[in-house]
Amino acid sequence: MEQRVLGRSGFTVGGLGLGTMVLGRWGNTDLAECHRIINRAIDAGINLIDTADMYGEGENEQIVGEAIRDRRDEVVLCTKFHHPVGAHDDPTRRGNSRRWILEAVDDSLRRLGVDHIDLYQAHRPDPEVPLEETVEALTDLVTAGKIRAWGTSTFPAEDITRAHWIAERTGGKPSVSEQPPYSILCRGIERDVLPTARQLGIGVVCWSPLSGGWLTGKYRRNEPAPAGSRAATNPDHFDGGNDAKFDAVEALAAVADDAGLSLAHLSLAWILEHPAVTAALVGPRTEAQLDDLLGAADIQLSSDVLDAIDEIVAPGTSINPADAGWTPPGLAPAQRRRSSPS
């Protein structure tokens, strides 16, 4: 598998990374198979393993830690903070405040069973906390040796730039990566996030490259979602009535057929063509799914194929804006309307 440098982190990673969210109670509950999936991925050349403290209320980090216990030095271990871990209403146990970051990192280290995290990522922006506070806390964690580097996930371009400026101005440690949603069906980051990452030398690791399963071809118009699919297990996050997506997927499947590729392989290879992208996260639920996805690692698409894809979904556009993964607070009615006179 081709190796790429992740921004200015010093880490070298494969073009495919392993996203582990569906290993455990949020997907595959066979823990032995979960461990096999992780180790098979490492054997195949995947060395970036990505989890988050919230996945399965902490269980996912434990699964990852157990699987890599004897292979820690082979892995670039990534996890995230921001969301609450489990169901609770305590506002101090979430977000990007210094208080929560310092507590959350120790919880993650304990669950993972390691003495340091390679890449610690802010899972979402936190408008309630000054970005200066977050950058300072993460800088202190690098200095303390608890993390090697830090990054962001689903941050807008302006916050990525601001974090870089803050670190530069204060002598802090700058972000080395951004983890945005990116797929043929969700191309909004081409307008700003990807150019910003290239300009600042920030690595990009993409989540949802197959658009929640849409780009595997498993979903059919007017048919129920297959058992065990993301649409079946998380129907509240699946826009199954989106005819525009079905239109695009059907057209993309024809392009894939003409190129002699599966739709999933076409979609992953397309992401890895972008010069700002370091890696794409695949999230297999079974060993068979992993084996299939690995075949996309070394595919290169011709200009004709890339042009055909652009004709179906134009550069910089997203068919469903909700796929962006985060809604800026400035779009809320209270932020857009002056108070009515009494």
Please report which confidence band the pLDDT of residue 266 belongs to, taking 50, 70 and 90 as the band edges: very high
Residue 342 in domain: no
Is there a catalytic annotation at residue 120? no
Please report which confidence band the pLDDT of residue 233 belongs to, taking 50, 70 and 90 as the band edges: low
Residue 72 in domain: yes
Please report which confidence band the pLDDT of residue 126 belongs to, taking 50, 70 and 90 as the band edges: very high
Residue 282 in domain: yes
Residue 135 in domain: yes
Q: Active site residue: 55, 120, 182, 219, which one?
A: 55
Residue 133 has pLDDT above 90, yes or no: yes
Residue 118 has pLDDT above 90, yes or no: yes
Residue 341 in domain: no
| Predicted local confidence at residue 40, as pLDDT | 98
pLDDT one-digit tens code per residue, 276-301? 999 999 999 999 999 999 999 989 99
Which H or E run contains 118? strand 117-122
Domain ranges, residue 31: 3-334
Residue 339 in domain: no
CA 181, CA 187: separation in Å to the nearest integer?
9
230-260 CB burial, b ≥16 within 10 A, e <16: bbeeeeeebebebeebbebbeebeebbeebe
Please report which confidence band the pLDDT of residue 127 belongs to, taking 50, 70 and 90 as the band edges: very high
pLDDT one-digit tens code per residue, 138-189? 999 999 999 999 999 999 999 999 999 999 999 999 999 999 999 999 999 9
| Predicted local confidence at residue 1, as pLDDT | 84
Number of domains the chain is built from: 1
Confirm if 255 and 308 have CB atoms less than 8 A apart.
yes
Kindly give, in sequence order, each residue whose CB lies less than 8 Å from that of residue 162, ignoring residues fewer than 6 positions away: 131
Residue 14 in domain: yes
Confirm if 171 and 137 have CB atoms less than 8 A apart.
no
Kindly give, in sequence order, each residue whose CB lies less than 8 Å from that of residue 88, ignoring residues fewer than 6 positions away: none
- Which stretch of 191-200, 249-258, 325-334 has the lowest confidence by average pLDDT? 325-334
| Predicted local confidence at residue 232, as pLDDT | 64
Residue 204 in domain: yes
| Predicted local confidence at residue 340, as pLDDT | 58
What CATH number is given to the structural domain containing 127? 3.20.20.100
